[in-house]
Structure 1
Amino acid sequence: MQVSETLNEGLKRGYQITVPAGDIDAKVNAKLVEAQPEVELKGFRKGKVPMAMLKKQFGRQIMGEVIQESIDGAVQEHFQESGDRPAMQPKIEMINQENWSDGDDIVVALTYEALPDVPDVDFGGVKIEKLTVEPAEADVDEALEGLSKNAQTFEPKEDGVAENGDQVVIDFVGKVDGEAFEGGAAEDYPLVLGSKSFIPGFEEQLVGTKEGEEKAVEVNFPEEYQAAHLAGKTAVFDCTVKEVKKPAEAKIDDEMAKSFGVESLEALKTQIKERLSAEYAGAARQVVKRQLLDQLDSLVTFDLPPALVEAEANQIAHQLWHEENPDVQGHDHPTIEPTEEHRNLAARRVRLGLLLAELGQKEGVEVTDAEMTQAIMTQARQYPGQEREFFEFIQKNAQAQQQLRAPLFEDKVIDLVLDRAEVTEKPVSKAELQAEVEKLEEA
C-alpha cells in the first residue's frame, strides 16, 4: 500500500492511497482456494473444479468483495499508522473506478477532518461556588397547600346555584344536527366549573343553574378538534343538573396525608422536605455545571473541526426553530440557516465536548451497565404501558443508546473535575437559587 498526502490545512487532511494489483489478485486467489473444496459444478465432483473455471465463474463477484475489503483495510491501516481520529465520517472515493480493469491498482482518495490534540488542563485553578438550600417551613407549607387543592372535596351547597369553582353533577347528551354522536353522553358526571376541562363555552353556560334544572348548552367544536368528524361543528348538549356542590374546606391533617398513602401529616412533611431537597440539589447542580463549563471554556484553546462545528450549528438552529414553531412537525419546512450566534454556541459545545471526552478517556471513565439500565428505566417511565417496547427499541438502536450514555458520561467527568477543583459552599434562599437558574435559562 502506498500513501501520499494531498491536503494538510489545519485539521483538514487528504491522502491518495494505492493498493497494488498484485495484492488484490492474491486476495482473490486466496478466497477461491478457500472456497474450492465446497464448490460443485456440473461435470465436476465437489472440490475438483479447476481454479481457472472457478475464477471465470465467481471471479467478478469475489473481485467486488476484495476491492471493498481492500479499500476498508487500507483506510483502517492509515488511521492506525497515522494516529488520526476523524471528526466525522471520512469521504472515501475510488478515483480510478470508471476506467479500472482487472490487473490495475486501486487508487483511493481519502479526505477528512481530524480531531485535534486537546491540551492538558490544570484544574487546580478552577474555583466553584456551590449553592446550598435547606427547605424552609414556608416551602413545605406551600407544597402542602398545593396537595390539599389536589385532594379537594365538595359538599352540598345550600342555595343550590352553581358558580365558578363549584362542582355540578350532570347527565348530558350531545347532538350535532339533531343526531346524538358517539362519546357525547354521560351520566352522573362531576364537572368543576371554571376548570376548562370541557369544550370552550360549555362550563360558562352552566354558571347560575340549579339542582334539577335542565339546560341546552350550545357550543362550537374547535376547527382543530381531535375528532375529525366533529371539528368545526356546532353541537347542542342537553344537560340535567342533578347536584350542585361547593368546595369543602381543605384540611391539612393526618386524614389528608392518608389520602396520599402516608400514615401521618408529619410523615408527609418529611417526604416533602426530601423531595424539595432533591429538587434544590438538582437545580444547584445545573448552576455548578454552568460555572464549571464557563471556566473550562476560558482555560483551553485548540483548533476545532469546521465540519463538526457546522453540523452542531445546524442542529442548534433546527432545534430552536422548532421550539419557536411547535406546530410544525418533522422536516417539512424551509431550509434553516444557522446564524453567527448559533455557530459561536456550536463552537463552545464542540470545544467542551472534545475536552470532556478526552479527559474521560484519559481517566478511564466508563458508564456501567447498571447505570445504563437505570437510565433506561427512568426514561421508560415516560411511556406508561409501553415500557417493554421502549426497552426493546433502546436495545436495537445504537444511536438511542448513545443519546442516553452521553449525558451519563459527561456527568461522571464533571464530577471528576469537581473533585480536583476548589469548591466552596454558599447557603442561599430558594428565591436566590431560582434567580440563578433563570439566568441559565436566559443565557
Structure 2
Amino acid sequence: MQVNETLNEGLKRGYTITVTAAELDAKVQEKLVEAQPEIEMKGFRKGKVPMAMLRKQFGPRLMGDAMQEAIDGAMKSHFDASGDRPAMQPDVKMVGGENWQEGQDVVVEMSYEALPEIPEIDASAVTLDRLVVKADEAAVDEALKNLAESAQNFEDRKKGTKAKDGDQVVIDFKGSVDGDYFEGGTAEDYPLVLGSNSFIPGFEEQLVGAKAGEEKKVEVTFPESYGAAHLAGKSAVFECTVKAVKEPKPAELNDELAKKYGAEDLAALKGQIAERLEAEYQGAARAVMKRALLDQLDGMVKFDLPPSLVEAEAGQIAHQLWHEENPEVEGHNHDAIEPTEEHKTLAERRVRLGLLLAEVGRKADVTVTDQEMTQAVLTQARQYPGQERQFFEFVQKNPQMQQQLRAPIFEDKVVDFIVAGAKVTDKEIDKDELQKAIEALDEI
C-alpha cells in the first residue's frame, strides 16, 4: 500500500492511496478463511466447503468489503502518522472506479483541509469582571406585584358598564357559516378575557364596549391555516349574549397568595422570589462575562482558518439572518443567499473561537457526561408537551441532534475551565446596569 502526497498548500492537503491487487486478494482470502468454518453448502458438511467454491460465491461481495477496509485503514494510518486532523470529512474518490476490474490495483484520491496548529493560551493573562447583582426590596416587590396580577380575580362591574380591554366577559354564543350552525361553535357561560387573543382574530375587539344583557352579532373570518379544514378561510357569524362584564382585581399580597405558590407565608415567598431573581441575574451576568472572555481570546490568538469551515459558517449566518428578516418565508424555497463581507468576518471569529475552545477542551480532557446530556434532552423535550417520548427517540437516532445538544454544554464547560485560571474580580452593580450590559451584547 502506498500513500503519495499530491498537494500541500496552506491547510489544503491531497494524497493518492494505492492498494495493490495482491493486498486486496490477501484480504479477501483472510475473510474467506475466517468465515469457512461456519458456512454450509449443499453437498458439503459445515466448514468443509472448498475454498474455490467459497471464493466464486462470496468473493465479489467480500472484495468490496476488503477495498473499504483497506482504504479506511490507509486513511487512519496516514492521520496517525501525520498528526493531521481534517476540518471536515475528507473527499475520497476512486480513480477509474467504473472501469475497475478484479486483479487491478485500487487508486484513491483523498483531499481535505487540515485543522491548523492552534497556539496555547495563558488563562492567567485574561482579566474579567464578574458582575454581582443583589435582589433589592424594590425588585422583589415588583415581582410580587406581577405575581398578584397574574393570579387576578374578576369581579362584576356596575350594571351598564361597557367592557374594556382586560375585562372578562361571560358569554353564550352560537356560530354559523352560511346560515348553518357548526359543531364546536356553541358554548354557554364562557369566560373570555378581552385582549387575550385566545379567540379568532377580530372576535374579541367586537365585544369591547358591550354591556351585560346585550346581544351582539360578531362577524369574523377563520384563518386560512385554521385547524379545522372545513372552517379554514370561511366567514362566520357568532350570535353572542353578554351575561356579565367583570373587571380584573389583582390578588391580595398575603399568606394565602403565598400558599398558592407553595410557600409557607408571604415572607417565605419573598425569599423564594429573591433567590429566583438572583439566579436570573447570575445567568445574565455570566453571559456578559462570557462575551468579555471571547472578545479577549479573539484578540489573543491568530492562526490560519480552514476556508471550508469559514465558508460554511458564513453561509449559515447569512441564511439565518435572511430568515429573521423575512419571517413570512417558511422552508428553503428561495433564491440563493450570498454572504456579505460582514457575514464572513463574523464567520471567521466564530470559527477561530470554536477551534480554540475545542482545542483547549481537548487538551484539558473536558467531556460532556451522560447525565448532562440527559438533562439537556429533558429540557428540550419540555418544548414538545405530550411528545416527550418521541423526542427522546428522535435524539437517540439522530447523531447530528446529539451534537447540537452536546456542543453548547461542552463550550460552557471549557469557558468555566478558562475562567477558573483567569483573574476575575467581583463587581457589584444594580439591575439597571446589568440590563444595559445585556442590551449591549445585541449591539455588537
Superposition TM-score, scaled by structure 2 size: 0.94
Alignment pair present for 1:21 and 2:27: no
CA separation in 2, counterparts of 1:83 and 1:348?
25
**What letter matches 2:400 in structure 1?**
Q
1:129 is matched by which residue type in structure 2? D
Distance in 1 of aligned mates of 2:287 and 2:82: 39
Q: Alpha carbons of 1:306 and 1:213: their partners in 2 closer, same or farther (altered >3 Å)? A: same
User: CA 1:100/1:184 → structure 2, altered by over 3 Å: closer, same or farther?
Assistant: same
Measured in 2, the distance between the counterparts of 1:248 and 1:99 equals 83
1:185 aligns with 2:182: no
- Aligned partners of 2:163 and 2:169 also within 8 Å: no
1:210 and 1:319 map into 2 onto residues whose CA distance is 48
| Alignment CA distance shift 1:162-1:23 (3 Å) | same
Give the aligned residue type for 1:239: C
- Cα root mean square deviation, aligned: 1.9
Matched to 2:138, the amino acid is A
CA deviations on 1:142-187 (whole Å, 9 max, x unpaired) are 1112111111111222224232033221110011111111221111
User: What's the CA shift for 1:370?
Assistant: 1.9
| Matches of 1:166 and 1:93, distance apart in 2 | 70
**Structure 1 residue 80: deviation in Å?**
1.3
In structure 2, C-alpha distance between the alignment counterparts of 1:316 and 1:173, rounded to whole Å: 49
Counterpart of 1:158 in 2: which secondary structure? Answer: coil
Q: Which residue of the partner structure matches residue 10 of structure 1?
A: 10
The structure-2 alpha-carbon separation of the partners of 1:98 and 1:213, relative to structure 1 and needing over 3 Å to count, comes to closer
Could you say which residue in structure 2 is the equivalent of 1:127?
127
Q: Distance in 1 between matches of 2:384 and 2:334?
A: 28
Seen in structure 2, the aligned counterparts of structure 1 residues 104 and 149 have a Cα distance that, compared at 3 Å, is: same
Question: Which residue of 1 is the match for residue 442 of structure 2?
Answer: 441
Q: How does 1:283-302 map to 2 (within 5 A)?
A: 283-302=284-303
Letter in 2 for 1:162: K
Say whether residues 1:350 and 2:357 are aligned partners: no
What's the counterpart of residue 306 of structure 1?
Answer: 307
Provide the secondary structure at the position in 1 that maps to 2:97: coil
How far apart in 2 are the matches of 1:212 and 1:91?
Answer: 76
Once structures 1 and 2 are overlaid, which stretch shifts more, 13-22 or 238-247?
238-247
Cα distance 1:393–1:224, how it changes in 2: closer, same or farther (>3 A)? closer
Deviation at 1:289, TM superposition (A): 0.3
C-alpha distance in 2 between matches for 1:10 and 1:345: 22
State the partner residue of 1:422: 423
Which shifted more, 81-90 or 165-174? 165-174
Q: Structure 1 residues 401-410 or 260-269, which shifts more?
A: 260-269
Shift of the 23–207 alpha-carbon distance from structure 1 to 2, 3 Å rule, reads closer
- Which string of whole-angstrom CA distances, capped at 9 and with x for unpartnered residues, describes residues 5-56 of structure 1? 1000001000111112211111112222223333344444443433333323
Q: How many residues get paired?
A: 443
* Counterpart residue identity of residue 211, structure 2: K
For residue 353 of structure 1, what is the amino acid of its counterpart?
G
> Quick one: distance in 2 between partners of 1:45 and 1:381?
59
- Distance in 1, matches of 2:250 and 2:89, equals 65
Pair 1:262-2:263 in alignment: yes
Q: Which residue of 1 aligns with 2:170?
A: 169
C-alpha separation in 1, matches of 2:379 and 2:281: 20
| Correspondence for 1:202 | 203
- Residue 117 of structure 2 aligns with an amino acid whose one-letter code is D
Q: Secondary structure at the match of 2:100?
A: coil
Question: How far apart, in 2, do the equivalents of 1:108 and 1:290 lie?
Answer: 45
Q: Which runs of 4+ in 1 moved over 6 A?
A: none
Cα displacement string for residues 347-400 of structure 1 (whole angstroms, at most 9, x for unaligned residues):
111111111111111111112222222222222222222222222222222222
Moved more, 78-87 or 191-200: 191-200
Deviation of the 1:114 alpha carbon = 0.6
* Further displaced range: 215-224 or 302-311: 215-224
Once the 2 structures are TM-superposed, how far is the Cα of residue 124 of structure 1 from its aligned partner? Answer: 1.7
Q: Distance in 1 between matches of 2:388 and 2:250?
A: 40
CA apart distance, 1:224: 4.4
Distance 1:36 1:250 in 2: 81
- Is the 1:21–1:105 contact (alpha carbons within 8 Å) kept by the matching residues of 2? yes
SS of the equivalent of 2:187 reads strand
Paired residue secondary structure (2:147): helix
Distance in structure 2 (CA, Å) of the matches to 1:15 and 1:151 = 69
Which residue matches 1:108? 108
CA distance in 1, matches of 2:197, 2:111: 60
Indicate conservation of the 8 Å contact 2:149/2:250, yes or no: no
2-structure distance, mates of 1:277, 1:366: 29
Gaps of 5+ in 2: none
For 2:101 and 2:210, the matched residues in 1 are separated by 91
Aligned to 1:96: 96
Which runs of 5 or more structure 1 residues have no equivalent in the other structure?
A: none
Alignment of 1:76-91 (within 5 A): 76-91=76-91
Instruction: Summarize the Cα distance change of 1:76–1:141 in structure 2 as closer, same or farther, 3 Å threshold.
Output: same
CA distance in 1, matches of 2:8, 2:152: 71
- Whether the aligned pair in 2 keeps the contact of 1:220 and 1:232 (CA below 8 Å) is yes
* Letter of the 1:272 counterpart: I
Deviations 1:177-230 (A, max 9, x none): 111112211111111233333233323333343333322222233444444433
Deviations 1:72-131 (A, max 9, x none): 111111111111111100011111324433222211111001111111111221111121
